[in-house]
Structure formats: structure tokens, C-alpha cells
Amino acid sequence: MKFAVIVFPGSNCDVDMYHAIKDELGAEVEYVWHDANNLDGFDGILLPGGFSYGDYLRCGAISRFSNVMNAVKKAADQGKPILGVCNGFQILVEAGLLPGALIRNKNIKFMCRTVELRVENNETMFTAEYEKGEIIQIPIAHGEGNYYCDEETLQQLIENNQIAFRYHGENPNGSISDIAGITNKQGNVLGMMPHPERAVDELLGGADGLKLFKSILKQWRETHVVTA
């Protein structure tokens, strides 16, 4: 399986994502600059965190117009796994690949620490290696991570089982319904504010995030028969 890590001007978690895939997951990965217009050679697409275009206007509002986002949308339509973390989540929302919005944290402060998440849906290509209800520890680092949507959208997320992760115990940013990560209806696009790529090795303080990447790889292997 070959992953693309999309790099926007201002990305600063692209190296973390690359390390998680190459050194911890043991899969093939390449950086792809934001002006690329073709992702056909990749099996999975990763949008990392950071401050794309300085977070001007709104977080992710400019990046969603980058050339590469047309290719990301095409990959999503093809059913390929698309993961957006932190700023990547914001970009996916701005691009219309996920519903809702990410607004300022309730306390109006940037937060950087490890929090607990509860796995709400372990039947997605991103969460199959977890147990339903499993409590995991994943770092956060954001100032605009407060997920918001209207009541109709929230009800749809619940009914379609699109809530992948919720904050457990403390809700650090005020997100509606404690939401930390959601998928699209098809289940192949995941956006989350916490950083699983920063929790892939005990040397980093924990490895609970590695199961997410293992889930993607497992699903891909199960749907792609490799012949000699």
C-alpha cells in the first residue's frame, strides 16, 4: 500500500505523518506538494496538521482551493481512505468532504496535551483494530478544534454511525456531543482533531494511534489480492 502525505504551505506535521507510515507502519509513503493534480498512484491520502496558508480567513479555507484537492475529492469518490488530522480535518470540512465546522476552542486558547478518546465506531477502515468503547490516549494541539454542526446534521451523524471518536472524560475544546472525529457517510473519509501520528511508539509517550494506521493497511490488504 502506498500513501501520499499532502504538504501545504504551513504544514508542520507532515514529517510526523511520514514517520508514522514509513518507520512504524512499514508501508510506502511519499510527500506530495499542494500543486499536484494527480493522486492516481496512491492507495491512501493523508492530510496532516499545521497552519496551511497561515490559517488566514479560516483554518483550511485557502487550502481547499489548492490543485491537489480536486485529486483528493476524486480519490474519495473512488473509495480510497482519506485521513485528515487537525488542520487536515479543517481542510476536509472546508472542502465539503465532511459536514460541520471547526471553530475556536471554548476557552479561546491553544491547547497541546494528551487527552482520552473513546472509540465510538470500530467498524470503519480506520478503527477496525480497536474495540468498540476502547479508551485510548492521543495528543491534541489546536486552537480551533471545537467541532460544531446543527442539530439536523448531528442527528444524521448519529444515525449513520459517522462518529468515530468522542472525547472521554474531559472535552478540551467544547465540541458538540464530545465529537473528536467523524467519517463521511461512505466511511472512507475520516477527519479528527487529535494526532494519532504522534502516538505510534512508546518512546513518544504512547502507541494508541498506531492501530488507526494498522486498520487502514489491514483493510487494504483484505480488499487487494496480491499474486506472485
Q: Which of 34, 142, 168, 195 is catalytic?
A: 195
Q: Which of 94, 129, 144, 197 is catalytic?
A: 197
182-209 residue pLDDT tens: 999 999 999 999 999 999 999 889 999 9
pTM for the model = 0.95
User: Which letter, b or e, does each residue of 156-170 get, where b requires 16 or more Cβ atoms within 10 Å of its Cβ?
Assistant: ebeeeebbbbbbbee
User: Residue 92's pLDDT is what?
Assistant: 98
- Look up 197 and say whether it is catalytic: yes
Q: Which of 59, 86, 94, 120 is catalytic?
A: 86
- Look up 86 and say whether it is catalytic: yes
User: What residue ranges of the chain have pLDDT lower than 70?
Assistant: 225-228
- Look up 112 and say whether it is catalytic: no
Q: Where are the domains of the chain?
A: 2-223
Q: Tell which CATH architecture fits domain 2-223.
A: 3-Layer(aba) Sandwich (3.40)
